[in-house]
Each structure stands twice: as structure tokens, then as C-alpha cells.
Amino acid sequence: MHNSTVGDFQTGLIWFRRDLRVQDQHALYMALKHCQQVYCVFVFDTQILAPLPKADRRVEFIQESLVDLELELKKCANSEEIKLITLHGDSTTEILKAATLLQVQAVFTNHDDEPYSLKRDALVRGKLAGVGISFFEFKDHVIFERSEVLTQGGTPYGVFTPYKNAWLKNVTDEDLQSLDISPYKTRLAKLKDSHKKHFSHPVHSLEDIGFLITNLKTLPIPTGIQGGEHLFKDFLKRMDSYHETRDFPFIKGPSYLGVHLRFGTVSIRKLVRTALERTHAGSAGAAVWLSELIWRDFYAQILHHHPRVVQNAFKPEYDNIQWEDDSAAKKLFKAWCNAQTGYPIVDAAMHQINSTGYMHNRLRMVVASFLVKDLGIDWRWGESYFAQHLIDFDLASNNGGWQWASSSGCDAQPYFRIFNPVSQSKRFDPKGQFIHRYLPELADLGEKDIHAPWEASDMTLQSAGLVLGKNYPKPIVDHAKARERTLMRYSVVKSTKH
């Protein structure tokens, strides 16, 4: 696990990215182990921030987590003078500038295998090499990455279950070992007087980087290392029943740690270690949760080996499908985005993502299936909507999930398996509790009618104060007819094996 080619240096810099914690952080551990003095840096990268809306919960989550990270660094070194240097600009120039001004001999960071990040890191590596500064990268975001788990023929896995079996066979205590920085914590460097004019400002505020405050503080999404720890402790009490509760959106079933894994405010090694220990002790809930964590590794290696999935179907023949994209389709897509489909479970789920940045995993499958297989709209439209709105958006997992729902991905559901939104609703929100939470206009409909209001009698609608098409939309599509159209649409891929 440890990179033996790292030499020893007088001064180093750790570049934090999607790994905003102090304990068990691979690059930070290696920097402190191999350098006498280590400066800590984070860049608000304008290349990443520029396309985002000005009120973006993720940016606020990062900002608050950085404030927390600086506090933890001070605590760790037992010194108020330790600083997390935050910069705002293009990483490829900012890191070079900081490394030069701080006179470091080496920059340490963790791998980020998204296509943009790989290009950025190659550029940074080149610029640093040009001035004689070493650049070291480590694995921290997943347990196994890149080509670490391959088939016996040496090729990447395209199906989850054999990948999972190989993953479980390969995993060792060393892979999950916690990296303890305590022996080296005195090496966290204080700014010298000559640096202070460049780097002494506090952690950038949202305002400093041109962003606005969102409703994040009103949501049950605690930020930073403390927030991740709080959620993890809470989930430990519920982990053993995870397999029974995870599919019901009105029950507190999931771990809610997605955003913390995304930004590295929790350690994946710690989570997997716990899940494995509990699984070995016979916990069915822990075994199912462990599977979810392995899916995360699986999708990350798919993105690494097949970067084309960002634009294209994993199974190329699925790119022959003719999606709807005329003005009528754009109208349907807008109705889906705005929670106006007339299918309560879909609309409640879309209200959830729009108002909180989170969506329950079962509902992600339901709304994705609805967009692709009921409305006949290209999965990429939905994927990009999620990419803009999900607080835990992760390119590999989001892409994997959407391709799974549209049957175009690796190990996807077969194309003829089409979720019926009404039966999904009855099955996973039987009393309509989740629907009631997000669609108060349906509050007076009983559990018999809440899943398909258009089937309710006039009298029932009247007594619930509902006028379909007025205070709640009529269904924008007939599911049975849409199903037939989908089977026709997908007939171009029928010849391929499933």
C-alpha cells in the first residue's frame, strides 16, 4: 500500500482535494512521514467552479468542511499557528505558485481518476518537474483502484458479482490498515514571516469565491470530519438492519455517508473495515452495505478502464437507440425536472433532490427508469441533471447508476425490465408517507389512491380538494403504452445477448 519510491525531503506540501480529513489520509500520512515540514493547501479550482450555479450546496459543504479541517489540523499539531492555505484560481498554476513560494521539494496528493482530474494532474506534474519539484500521488478514495482487481485473463471485470468475489478474495488487513499520523504531527509547518503576506488570509468564505449561501444548514447533512463521524456513529446502531430498511425512502435506512465519501471527510478504509468485521460476525445488514461500498470501487474501475462511458453507452450497441429529443420531449423532460409528471412517487423524489440535493437510492432507480423507459429520453439528460443537483455527485457512480437504469451499462438490468412507477410506489412507500412529505397537495388522499390519483373516483378527488391538471398534474404519459414504445425502441439491441 505504501509507495516505497518516496525519498525524504526537508519541506513538502499536501494538496487536499476529495480527501478533506486528517486521520487515515494517505497523502497526508506520506507527506508527514517523508518531510520534516509539511504545508497544507486546498485550491478552490475555478475550472471546476466556473460552470456551477452560484448557490451550490456542494461548494458550501466543501467550504464548511475546510473550516473543520483547519481546526482538526490545529488540534492535531496542538498549535493555533497551523494553517490550511486556501487558494482560488486554476489549480495548475496555483499549486506551482504555492510550491515555489513555500520552497517545497515535493507535492503530495491522492489519486483522482476522473478525466478532468487526470489531465489536470498530468499538467501539474509536468510544471513541477520543470522546476525540480517531485509530485507523488496515492490511493485513498477507494480500496482497490485501476487494475488492482482483474480477471484471470488480466482484463477488467464488466460484471459486478465476479468482481465482488475477486475483491473479497484479494482484500487483506493491510489494504484496510488505518494510517496514523500521530507520530509525525509535529511536522505540520507554521507559516514563516516571509510567507504571511501571500498566505495568511483565513479559509476562503463562499463570498470570497463568488458563491451564495444555500439551505444546507437547514438540512440533516452535517459537514466536515465531525459531521462524517456523527453520521457514521448513528449508522452503526442501524447497520445490522440495513438490508431490511434500505429500500424504503420514509425509513431512516441508509448511512447518508455518500457526500462524506465523495469529499473524503470519512475514510473508506474505516467504513470497509467495520462492514467486513460485522459481516464476518454474521450481520446480514453489514454484508449488503459492504456490497454497496464494493459497487463504488467497481464503478471507479469501469471509469478508469472505459473513460468513454462519460459520453457513450458501455455497451456500444445501445448508442443505436433513437431517443426522443424534439420539443415535446424537452417539455416532458422539464416536467420531470420540475416534479410535474403526475406520478406521485416520481414527483416526490424530484422534489427531494431539488430541495435538498439528496435522493434516496431506491428512488434514483425509479426516476431514472421513468425518464428513460417511460418518457423515452436519453439517459445522459438525466445523468447531467443529477450531476448538477446531487450533493453526493460522483462521476463514476452517477454514470454507472444511469447506465444501469437504461440497460446500456455493465451488469445492467435487461432492457425489457421496466419499473412500473405505481407498483414501485405501492411496494416501497405503501402508506404514502414519503409522498406526503414532499407533496402536501396530496395530503388528503388515502393510501389506496395516493399512488395513482388519476384512478381515484371524482368524489374521492373532490373531498381531497384535488383537481387534476390544476393543483396536481395529470400523468404526462400512460405507463402501459410507454412500455410498448420502449420495447420497440430497444428492439435495435435485441440481437445482443442478455
The label of the residue with cell 450555479 reads: 53
Residue 432, all three cell numbers: 404514502
Question: Is residue 67 domain-shared with residue 114, that is, in the same domain?
Answer: yes
Residue 127, phi then psi, degrees to nearest 5: -65, -40
Q: Looking at the domain assignment, is residue 479 inside a domain?
A: yes
So which residues are the catalytic ones?
292, 295, 323, 361, 379, 402
Q: Give the structural domain span for 135.
A: 1-140
User: Tens-of-pLDDT digits for all 498 residues of the chain?
Assistant: 444 588 999 999 999 999 999 999 999 999 999 999 999 999 999 999 999 999 999 999 999 999 999 999 999 999 999 999 999 999 999 999 999 999 999 999 999 999 999 999 999 999 999 999 999 999 999 999 999 999 999 999 999 999 999 999 999 999 999 999 999 999 999 999 999 999 989 999 999 999 999 999 999 999 999 999 999 999 999 999 999 999 999 999 999 999 999 999 999 999 999 999 999 999 999 999 999 999 999 999 999 999 999 999 999 999 999 999 999 999 999 999 999 999 999 999 999 999 999 999 999 999 999 999 999 999 999 999 999 999 999 999 999 999 999 999 988 778 888 999 999 999 999 999 999 999 999 999 999 999 999 999 999 999 999 999 999 999 999 999 999 999 999 998 875 544
Question: Is residue 477 domain-shared with residue 402, that is, in the same domain?
Answer: yes
Residue 38, phi then psi, degrees to nearest 5: -130, 125
Pairing of strands 9-16, 84-89: unpaired
Q: Looking at the domain assignment, is residue 195 inside a domain?
A: no
Domain end: 278, 305, 332, which one? 305
Question: Is residue 133 domain-shared with residue 146, that is, in the same domain?
Answer: no
Alpha helix ranges (H) inside 200-343:
224-236, 242-245, 258-262, 268-280, 284-305, 327-337
Q: What is the CATH classification number for the domain harbouring 43?
A: 3.40.50.620
Question: Is residue 251 domain-shared with residue 333, that is, in the same domain?
Answer: no
Predicted pLDDT at 496: 52
Q: Looking at the domain assignment, is residue 184 inside a domain?
A: no
**Counted domains in the chain:** 3
Q: What is the 3-state secondary structure (H, E, C) of 7-64?
A: CCEEEEEEEECCCCCCCCCHHHHHHHHHEEEEEEEEEEEHHHHCCCCCCCHHHHHHHH
CB 366 within 8 A of CB 424: yes
Classify burial at 101, counting beta carbons within 10 Å of its beta carbon; exposed 0-12, middle 13-18, buried 19 or more: middle
Question: Is residue 173 domain-shared with residue 85, that is, in the same domain?
Answer: no
Among 293, 387, 259, 304, smallest CA distance to 114 is for 304
Domain end: 263, 284, 305, which one? 305
Q: Looking at the domain assignment, is residue 182 inside a domain?
A: no
Q: Looking at the domain assignment, is residue 7 inside a domain?
A: yes
What residues contact residue 172 under an 8 Å CB cut-off, 6+ apart?
Answer: none
Q: Looking at the domain assignment, is residue 89 inside a domain?
A: yes
Predicted pLDDT at 260: 98
Instruction: Determine the Cα–Cα distance for residues 254 and 220; give it in Å rounded to an integer.
Output: 13
Q: Looking at the domain assignment, is residue 439 inside a domain?
A: yes
Question: Is residue 273 domain-shared with residue 347, that is, in the same domain?
Answer: no
Q: How far is CA 458 from CA 125, 225, 454, in A?
A: 68, 53, 9
Q: Looking at the domain assignment, is residue 44 inside a domain?
A: yes
Question: Is residue 146 domain-shared with residue 253, that is, in the same domain?
Answer: yes
Question: Is residue 426 domain-shared with residue 322, that is, in the same domain?
Answer: yes
Domain end: 251, 286, 305, which one? 305
Instruction: Determine the Cα–Cα distance for residues 406 and 400; give it in Å rounded to an integer.
Output: 10
Question: Is residue 276 domain-shared with residue 339, that is, in the same domain?
Answer: no
The label of the residue with cell 423532460 reads: 333
Secondary structure of residue 185 in the 3-state scheme: helix
Q: What is the CATH classification number for the domain harbouring 463?
A: 1.10.579.10
Question: Is residue 385 domain-shared with residue 300, that is, in the same domain?
Answer: no
Question: Is residue 350 domain-shared with residue 257, that is, in the same domain?
Answer: no
Q: How far is CA 173 from CA 84, 177, 272, 277, 417, in A?
A: 32, 6, 11, 11, 40
**CB-CB neighbours of 241 under 10 Å:** 14
Chain centroid to Cα 326, Å, comes to 31
Q: What is the CATH classification number for the domain harbouring 293?
A: 1.25.40.80
Question: Is residue 236 domain-shared with residue 273, that is, in the same domain?
Answer: yes
Per-residue burial over 478-490, b if 16 or more Cβ lie within 10 Å, else e, is: ebeebbebbeebb
Predicted pLDDT at 1: 42
